[in-house]
Structure 1
Amino acid sequence: MPVCPVTHHRLDLDGIDVFYRAAGPQDAPVVLLPHGYPCSSYEFRDLMPLLADRWRLLAPDFPGCGYSATPDDFTYDFDGYADFLERFTRHLGIERFALYLHDFGSQIGLRLAIAQPQRITALIVQNGDIYEDQLGPKYAALQRFFANPTRRRAPGWPTRSASKASRRSFSTKWSRNWPNASRRISGTCIGRSCRRAARKSRCR
């Protein structure tokens, strides 16, 4: 598989100094990569070269993140960042694109997709966030627990047997997809592994 280079760029977006990474042919279908928090386009540095033989990848640093500026008059919320993405793509002449959504970038990208669905060719969702103002009836039991944490099971809280079944299902999927994983799966082991992985992949 050919590995294509990632190039670094800056642009002035309505007075905001914006840094972004790009890879792939100018005439290829576009994939927009909004990053997570607290990170930057740096997190896509290894992914972009692997896809750039057939896609045009664009990964901006949000204002206040990475190498982009931190203007005082920017609106630092999901709507402000969604507007930033819209202006960023317009500035580069990008009319249609696929969106990769994960972490807090999922809420930003989804706002853009809802506002302008005609511009979206695909949504790729991986480990997206959900926030309290977006919770519906499905999360009522969880909201009650957040309001009053207790060892007693709140109404609607999963039973212990349901929790065990869920864990068995996860273990089965894990062993099926990662057959060479030799360690016994447990919440403790998984937690330690995640913490080690997080330390190794700190974003810069």
Structure 2
Amino acid sequence: MHAPVTHRTIDVDGIQTFYREAGPPDAPVFLLPHGYPCSSYEFRDLMPALGDRWRLLAPDLPGFGYSAAPEGFSWTFDGYADFLERFTHVMGLSRYALYLHDYGSQFGLRLALRAPERVAALVIQNGDIYEDVMGPKYAMLRAYWSDPTPEGRAKLAANVSEEGFRDEFVGDLPAHLAERVSPDLWKLHWSLMDTPGRRENVVTLFEDQATTLDWFAKEQQYLRENRPPTLIVWGPHDGYMPEESARAYLRDLPDAELHVLDAGHWALETSLGEIVPLVRDFLGRVHTS
């Protein structure tokens, strides 16, 4: 049942954009924007497991993975949301389910706010929009946002390193889960990010992340007013987004289907076998055309 995954590059407003695709071209679309510090590689195993029934598209966002990092790009959450919207237009996507994870949840939700009629369903996996239940690992970011000093910025920049990437992928996991995560994950992405320009762009994005707090209320309102069919699969071993961050969605989506797994922030790395049947069953009920 595993579908082949193709690897292509497309021009999006002058940006050479690498993307992965699986599934029939006329199948219902499942759009997969990735998180930090990853790329479309995040979805390399999910895509073939769903590509028999859905068309899955996972772009590398500018400055990540194999996509270009052009001068003049806006290294902000607004800039990435604009890019994702343009990607959907260039690819001719009129309706899609969205996978919302990490930074990709912000880009995806802003896309949903701009065109709610195009969103068939949401799959939310460790992507938070509730400020009151943010985890303790946000402390350094929030300290910088409230007092943006050069010393604080240097601390942020120090995390853009191979060791910092390793901590993002396995730092919060208990041993029985950490050993399932291949070092390829952080070594690959560090090798692709390790240029002065790309590292600086990421720090700029860290700084701009403060603006996402003002979007939370709009995103919550979108959920309340539109009630998109929603599956929540969550890894609670997450210093940024603990279990409370998942349950907070039920304030605005009381009918959402919630599954808390023995997993962390990068649940697809450790718990794919649990997530695939949940997603297949959910999309099979709500996103078939």
- When the two structures are superposed, what TM-score results if normalisation uses the length of structure 2? 0.49
Q: Which residue of 2 aligns with 1:126?
A: 125
Q: Which residue of 2 aligns with 1:186?
A: none
Segments ≥4 residues shifted beyond 2 Å = 145-148, 189-201
For these two proteins, the number of residue pairs brought into alignment is 155
Shift of 1:68: 0.2
For residues 48 and 139 of structure 1, the distance between their equivalents in structure 2, rounded to whole angstroms, comes to 31
- 2:179 corresponds to which letter in structure 1? R
Q: Which residue of 2 aligns with 1:39?
A: 38
Identity of aligned residues (%): 59
Which of 191, 196, 202 does residue 174 from structure 2 map onto?
191
Which structure has more relative contact order (CA 8 Å, sep 6+)? It is: 2
Q: Which residue of 2 aligns with 1:60?
A: 59
Q: Which residue of 2 aligns with 1:79?
A: 78
- Whether the 8 Å contact between 1:19 and 1:67 is mirrored in structure 2 is yes
Structure with a larger share of its residues in helix: 2
Shift of 1:95: 0.8
Q: How has the CA–CA distance of structure 1 residues 47 and 13 changed in structure 2, closer, same or farther, with 3 Å as cutoff?
A: same
For residues 199 and 52 of structure 1, the distance between their equivalents in structure 2, rounded to whole angstroms, comes to 24
- Whether the 8 Å contact between 1:33 and 1:57 is mirrored in structure 2 is yes
- Whether the 8 Å contact between 1:104 and 1:129 is mirrored in structure 2 is no
Shift of 1:78: 1.4
Q: What is the Cα-based RMSD across aligned positions, in Å?
A: 2.5
Question: Which one has a bigger Cα radius of gyration?
Answer: 1
- 1:28 corresponds to which letter in structure 2? A
Give the stretch that moved more between structures: 53-62 or 73-82: 73-82
- 1:72 corresponds to which letter in structure 2? E
Q: Which residue of 2 aligns with 1:97?
A: 96
Which consecutive unaligned segments of at least 5 residues does structure 1 have? 149-188
Structure 1 SS opposite 2:109? helix
Q: Which residue of 1 aligns with 2:185?
A: 202
Shift of 1:195: 3.8
Q: Which residue of 1 aligns with 2:108?
A: 109
Q: Which residue of 2 aligns with 1:70?
A: 69
- Whether the 8 Å contact between 1:40 and 1:65 is mirrored in structure 2 is yes
Structure 1 SS opposite 2:9? strand
- When the two structures are superposed, what TM-score results if normalisation uses the length of structure 1? 0.69
Deviations 1:134-189 (A, max 9, x none): 62xx459x8xx8889xxxxxxxxxxxxxxxxxxxxxxxxxxxxxxxxxxxxxxxx9
Q: How has the CA–CA distance of structure 1 residues 71 and 106 changed in structure 2, closer, same or farther, with 3 Å as cutoff?
A: same
Which consecutive unaligned segments of at least 5 residues does structure 2 have? 144-171, 189-289
